[in-house]
Homo-oligomer: A and B are copies of this chain.
Amino acid sequence: MDIATLREQHSDHWMRAAALRMLAMDAVAAANSGHTGMPMGMADVATVLYAKHLKFDASAPDWADRDRFILSAGHGSMLLYGLLHLTGYEDMTLEQIKNFRQWGAKTAGHPEYGHAKGIETTTGPLGQGIATSVGFAIAEEALRARFGKKIVDHKTYVIAGDGCLMEGVSQEAIALAGHLKLGNLIVFWDNNGITIDGKVGLSDSTDQVKRFDAANWHTQEIDGHDPDAIDAAIEAAKKAGKPSMIACKTNIALGSSAQDTSKGHGALTDPQLISDTREVYGWNHAPFDIPADIKSWWEKVGSRGAEAREAWNDRVEELSANKRALFDRMQSGEAPKKLSGTIRALKKQISESGPKVATRKSSEMVLEVVNPVMPETIGGSADLTGSNNTLTADLGTFTAEDRKGRYVYYGIREHGMAACLNGLALHGGIRPYGGTFFVFTDYARPAMRLSALMGIPVVYVMTHDSIGLGEDGPTHQPVEHLAMCRATPNTLVFRPADTVETAEAWEIALSVKDSPSVLALTRQGLPTVRREHKTRNLTAQGAYVLADADGKRQAVLLATGSEVSIAMEAREKLQAEGIGTRVVSMPCWELFEQQDESYRRRVLPASAVRVGIEAGVRQGWDRWLLGERGREAKAGFVGMSSFGASAPAEELFEKFGITADAVVEKVKSLL
């Protein structure tokens, strides 16, 4: 539908959508940076969606039963900011729009979760939005199954671009969504045929509709500028009973001289182009000036859901006290009071019995007691259930038929799983965890980075955390991955030494609200090193003295995970030679970093020889070995400096020299 027809046949709609287009154009021009073309192309879809379908109340952006809108094509952020501003989200003022992409503004280059209400997830890295939306949709289904349709009944709408669909993670997402028949998920594909490099045809000839069909989606193809067609398509999608993809043929940078070109994808800042476009649009207003009637219409759209929200409030009031309390607690993200007692009981039992188990098994032991007291957990694995030990009794499987199941078989889709976990956590009401091999954080990384950037409490259960996995060889043996996870800001990286530390790590991971956690767990069995029960969560301090020196302290051994028991063994040998040796277990560097300096000094006193032991690369260790400003200690490291190899695990530790004897030797060479 061309502009002339739109202006003639849908004049009201046109001017309302034009408001979105002009805000995008004006903001990008003011910032001299950003993406004008996408908002101009998708304004019609967004206008119809918000005006007629999206269930929301701008005055209550946290309403639990709102529909979610996810702008997967996050570079078109001004479309979202424009919608939030026009519909009256309190914190999305015109001032914010005018400060698009400036320091301190809520209107970052790409939508950043937490910057402003109405931004449901951070997008920009392509494909993340559509993949994350699958988690939103699962969360809605899961909560609806628990609390009923009167309390939970909403949709997740997504706008995805060509880039989102080219990214591999989109395939993982759509395959999973189709398999799970997530009928509450509706994706608009902004089919504008343009990418940064030029026409989509430069690099792609995929029949996207057929591709979605192959993944068991409901599909439609429409003119993405025709308001009636958009409306009808959304109606049909809602009734589809499976996820729905609406291919919207649109013109990027509609109505400008850059229309349908890759130039139109970027920042349109030429004053002549802008004034010409204003003319084409019939928009005779100053930059950022929205006529009162149009603003007022949009504000009515923003309050359209108020009544429904009040009715929903009433229904929530009608819940039984227990159900209500559970709903509220789950929404709040607070762990249940029972959690710490449950963990403590397990710790006590383990300290007393001292089993030798792999920490992946320890993790399962924790989940066995935690899952029953935390109905908000939803677990899963990327096809390594029996290896990650992520499935516990009575969880049930989340399937197209059973929405009460609390375990998701994600398939061989680490990246899609991680994005899904983000969606589950962002939706609210759910504590998600998911497992794969630690080395495959590589596949999941873009989504794991977003967990950290958004500050959401996803738990990554990463087993087979070193050469200790043995025969599968270097492709499956992480050596750089602890360093990588630790290099990422706002990520709690736990590498517990035994079941007790694993329980403590889980307690923290299930209690924090603003950081993801990575649990790096072994394949191989480890002795219990924490044989004396402490009610206090020592892992919460990040590092602590596990065994102090007998006699004069000459050496401090720092270790994590499977190497803590090696450190303990080395300590015995050193003590036998009269070398007083302390062992510090460091299950979580980030938490140790947060302790006050006096505690850190007590654990790592200056002037001793320090040796770090970890079956990974040294990178990052020097901070603890040498002290931040240096000169604290003479230091050595026992670990990996290359990729691993394929052989039985014990042989690998020997061959790569990660043994108690090697530690003893290192200490002596430094003394």
Name A's B-contacting residues (CB within 8 A): 31, 33-34, 74, 101-105, 108-110, 112, 122-126, 162-163, 166-172, 175-176, 178-179, 195-198, 202-208, 210-211, 213-216, 381, 383-387, 397, 409-413, 415-416, 439-440, 442-443, 445-446, 449-450, 452-453, 470-476, 479-480, 483-484, 486-490, 617-620, 622-623, 625-636, 641-643, 645-648, 651-652, 655, 670
Contacts and interface: CB of A to CB of B under 8 A. Distances in A.
A302 to B, nearest CB: 25
B101 A206 contact: no
B384 A197 contact: yes
A598 to B, nearest CB: 21
Given A449-B442, A619-B619, A178 B166 contact: no
A610 to B, nearest CB: 8
A623 B474 CA distance: 25
Contacts of A446: 440, 442-443
Nearest to A416: B168
Contact of A167 (B125, B126, B385, B412): B412
Nearest to A452: B643
Given A411-B203, A647-B103, A489 B479 contact: yes
A489 B483 contact: no
Nearest to A211: B214
A110 B472 contact: yes
A617 B633 CA distance: 23
Nearest to A486: B619
Q: Please give the count of copies of this chain that the complex contains.
A: 2
7 contacts: A125-B440, A125-B475, A168-B413, A179-B206, A483-B619, A489-B642, A631-B631
A167 B443 CA distance: 9
A471 B31 contact: yes
A110 B34 contact: no
Contact of A172 (B168, B176, B411, B470): B168
Contact of A483 (B112, B483, B645): B483
A266 B644 CA distance: 22
A381 B197 contact: yes
A110 B163 contact: no
Given A470-B33, A670-B629, A168 B166 contact: no
Given A105-B646, A170-B171, A203-B410, 13 more contacts: A33-B470, A33-B648, A102-B646, A103-B645, A103-B646, A103-B648, A123-B475, A125-B440, A196-B386, A198-B409, A214-B214, A480-B484, A489-B641
Q: Closest 4 A-B residue pairs measured CB to CB? A: A168-B168, A203-B411, A622-B622, A171-B171
Contact of A412 (B110, B175, B195): B195
Contacts of A486: 619
A412 B670 CA distance: 51
A483 B491 CA distance: 15
A381 B202 CA distance: 12
Nearest to A124: B475
Nearest to A636: B629
A103 B445 CA distance: 31
B631 A383 contact: no
A490 B617 CA distance: 12
A241 to B, nearest CB: 15
A67 to B, nearest CB: 24
B474 A112 contact: yes
Contacts of A651: 103
Contacts of A170: 168, 171
Contacts of A416: 168
Interface centre among A202, A213, A384 (most CB of B within 10 A): A202
Given A197-B386, A630-B625, A453 B471 contact: no
A409 B203 contact: yes
Contacts of A443: 125, 167, 445-446
A110 B484 contact: no
A443 B642 CA distance: 23
Contact of A453 (B123, B387, B475): B475
Interface centre among A102, A206, A411, A646 (most CB of B within 10 A): A646
Contacts of A167: 168, 172, 412-413, 443
A327 B381 CA distance: 48
Contacts of A213: 207, 210, 214
A47 B435 CA distance: 37
A101 B646 contact: yes
Given A176-B203, A620-B620, A643-B489, A196 B383 contact: yes
Contact of A629 (B110, B196, B488, B635): B635
A188 B413 CA distance: 20
A387 B412 CA distance: 33
Nearest to A470: B33
B409 A202 contact: yes
B473 A108 contact: yes
Nearest to A491: B480
A630 B619 contact: no
Contacts of A634: 629-631
Contacts of A176: 203-204
Contact of A171 (B168, B202, B445): B168
A208 B178 CA distance: 13
